[in-house]
Amino acid sequence: MSMDSFFGSLFDMVENSNKEIDRCPKCKISFGDFQRSGLLGCSYCYEHFSKSLNPTIKRVQGGLTHTGKIPKSASQEVVSKRKIDELKLRLKDLITEEKFEEAAVVRDEIQELRKSLEEGESDAE
Amino acid sequence: MLNKESLVLRSRIRLARNVKTLFFPHRLSAEVARKLVDQVEDAFYVSRAMEEGYKTHRMWELGRTDLMVAFEKHLVSAKLINNSDIAAYIIDEKEDVSLMINEEDHIRLQVMGRDLDLEELYKKASKIDDLLSEKLDFAFDYNLGYITACPTNLGTAMRASVMLHLPGFTFTDKIGYVSQALAQMGMTIRGIYGEGSQAEGNIYQISNEVTLGMKEEDILYNLKDTIVKLLDEEQDHQRKLLNQYTLEMEDKIFRSMGTLMNARLMTSKEALYHLSLVRMGIETELLKDIDIRLIDGLIINTQPGMMKKAYGTELTEKERDINRAKIIRGIF
Rounded Cα distance, B43 and B137, in Å: 11
Name the domain boundary from B204, B235, B266.
Answer: B235
How sure is the predictor about A76, in pLDDT bands with cuts at 50, 70 and 90? Answer: confident
Regarding whether B122 and B90 lie in a shared domain, the answer is yes
Whole-model pTM: value is 0.87
Regarding whether B168 and B269 lie in a shared domain, the answer is no
Provide the shortest C-alpha distance from residue B308 to chain A (in Å): 31
Contact B212 A43 (CB under 8 A): no
Tell whether B192 is covered by a domain. yes
Which residues in chain B are contacts of A78 at CB distance < 8 A? 140, 142
Q: What are the residues facing B190 on neighbouring strands?
A: B205
Among partner residues B138, B143, B152, which is closest to A66 by beta-carbon distance? Answer: B143
- Per-residue pLDDT of B207-231, as tens digits, reads 999 999 999 999 999 999 999 999 9
Tell whether B241 is covered by a domain. no
pLDDT (0 to 100) of residue A125: 47
pLDDT (0 to 100) of residue B47: 93
Contact B150 A66 (CB under 8 A): no
Regarding whether B269 and B203 lie in a shared domain, the answer is no
Regarding whether B131 and B175 lie in a shared domain, the answer is yes
CA distances from B313 to B60, B77, B126, B302 (A): 19, 21, 39, 14
Regarding whether B116 and B77 lie in a shared domain, the answer is yes
Scanning A33-62 for CB atoms below 8 A from B yields: 37-43, 46, 53, 56-57, 60-62
Rounded Cα distance, A22 and A53, in Å: 14
Under 8 Å between Cβ of B70 and B300: no
Name the domain boundary from B213, B235, B257.
Answer: B235
pLDDT (0 to 100) of residue A10: 60
* B33 interface with A at CB cutoff 8 Å: no
Find which of B15, B26, B28, B142 to mutate to test the A interface (most A CBs within 10 Å of its CB).
B142
Regarding whether B205 and B264 lie in a shared domain, the answer is no
Tell whether B326 is covered by a domain. yes
CA distances from A78 to A83, A109, B137 (A): 9, 16, 14
Provide the shortest C-alpha distance from residue B22 to chain A (in Å): 7
- Long-range contacts made by residues B43-50, C-beta under 8 angstroms, separation at least 24? B43/B131, B43/B132, B43/B134, B43/B135, B43/B136, B44/B90, B44/B99, B44/B128, B44/B131, B44/B132, B46/B131
DSSP SS3 for B51: helix
How sure is the predictor about B309, in pLDDT bands with cuts at 50, 70 and 90? Answer: confident
Best CA proximity match to B231, nearest among B299, B163, B159, B158 = B163
Regarding whether B285 and B177 lie in a shared domain, the answer is no
pLDDT (0 to 100) of residue A17: 57
Contact B150 A3 (CB under 8 A): yes
How sure is the predictor about A63, in pLDDT bands with cuts at 50, 70 and 90? Answer: confident
Question: With left for phi above 0 and alpha for psi between -120 and 50, is residue A106 left, alpha or beta?
Answer: alpha
Residue range B75-96: average pLDDT? 92
Among partner residues B27, B126, B141, which is closest to A41 by beta-carbon distance? Answer: B27
Name the domain boundary from B235, B263, B282.
Answer: B235
Contact B213 A63 (CB under 8 A): yes
Which residues in chain A are contacts of B147 at CB distance < 8 A? 43, 46
* B312 interface with A at CB cutoff 8 Å: no
Tell whether B187 is covered by a domain. yes
Residue range A83-111: average pLDDT? 91
Best CA proximity match to B211, nearest among B14, B63, B36 = B14
Percent of chain B exceeding pLDDT 90 equals 75
Q: What are the residues facing B15 on neighbouring strands?
A: B109, B158
Rounded Cα distance, B203 and B167, in Å: 8
Regarding whether B111 and B200 lie in a shared domain, the answer is yes
pLDDT surpasses 70 at B115: yes
pLDDT (0 to 100) of residue B178: 92
pLDDT (0 to 100) of residue A3: 60
Number of structural domains found in chain B:
2
pLDDT (0 to 100) of residue B132: 96
Mean model confidence pLDDT for chain A: 84
Q: Is B283 exposed, middle or buried (0-12, 13-18, 19+ CB in 10 A)?
A: buried
How sure is the predictor about A119, in pLDDT bands with cuts at 50, 70 and 90? Answer: confident
Cα nearest neighbour of B214 on chain A:
A67
* A25 interface with B at CB cutoff 8 Å: no
Best CA proximity match to B105, nearest among B59, B39, B36 = B36
* B26 interface with A at CB cutoff 8 Å: yes
- Per-residue pLDDT of A6-35, as tens digits, reads 666 666 655 555 677 889 999 999 999 999
Tell whether B116 is covered by a domain. yes
Instruction: Kindly give, in sequence order, each residue whose CB lies less than 8 Å from that of residue B312, ignoring residues fewer than 6 positions away.
Output: none
For A65-100, b/e burial (b = at least 16 CB within 10 A) is ebbbbbbeebeeeeebbeebeeeeeebeebeeeeee
Measured at the CA of B273, the angle between CA B271 and CA B276, to 5 degrees, comes to 100
Best CA proximity match to B269, nearest among B244, B295, B302 = B302
pLDDT (0 to 100) of residue A87: 92
Contact A42 B27 (CB under 8 A): yes
Regarding whether B160 and B66 lie in a shared domain, the answer is yes
Rounded Cα distance, B277 and B281, in Å: 6
> What secondary structure does DSSP assign to B192-250, as a single string?
TTBTT---GGGEEEEEE---SSS-HHHHHHHHHHHHHHHHHHHHHHHHHHHHHTHHHHH
Tell whether B240 is covered by a domain. no
Among partner residues A27, A62, A69, which is closest to B23 by beta-carbon distance? Answer: A27
Binding-site members of B are 10-14, 74, 108, 159-163, 190-195
Residue range A78-85: average pLDDT? 89
Domain of residue B299: give its range: 246-331
- Give the CATH number for residue B105: 3.30.590.10
pLDDT (0 to 100) of residue B316: 86
Tell whether B163 is covered by a domain. yes
pLDDT (0 to 100) of residue A6: 60
The DSSP H or E segment spanning A53 is: helix A50-61
Residue range B279-305: average pLDDT? 89
pLDDT surpasses 60 at B194: no
Residue range B136-161: average pLDDT? 96
Residue range B66-92: average pLDDT? 90
Rounded Cα distance, B77 and B57, in Å: 14
CA distances from A12 to A16, A97, B24, B52 (A): 9, 47, 25, 52
Mean model confidence pLDDT for chain B: 92
Regarding whether B280 and B181 lie in a shared domain, the answer is no
Measured at the CA of B226, the angle between CA B180 and CA B115, to 5 degrees, comes to 125
Regarding whether B199 and B52 lie in a shared domain, the answer is yes
Residue range B77-92: average pLDDT? 93
Regarding whether B309 and B227 lie in a shared domain, the answer is no
Tell whether B47 is covered by a domain. yes
pLDDT surpasses 90 at B259: yes
Please report, in angstroms and rounded to a whole number, the separation of the first and last CA atoms in chain A.
49
Instruction: Kindly give, in sequence order, each residue whose CB lies less than 8 Å from that of residue B269, ignoring residues fewer than 6 positions away.
Output: B200
How sure is the predictor about B131, in pLDDT bands with cuts at 50, 70 and 90? Answer: very high
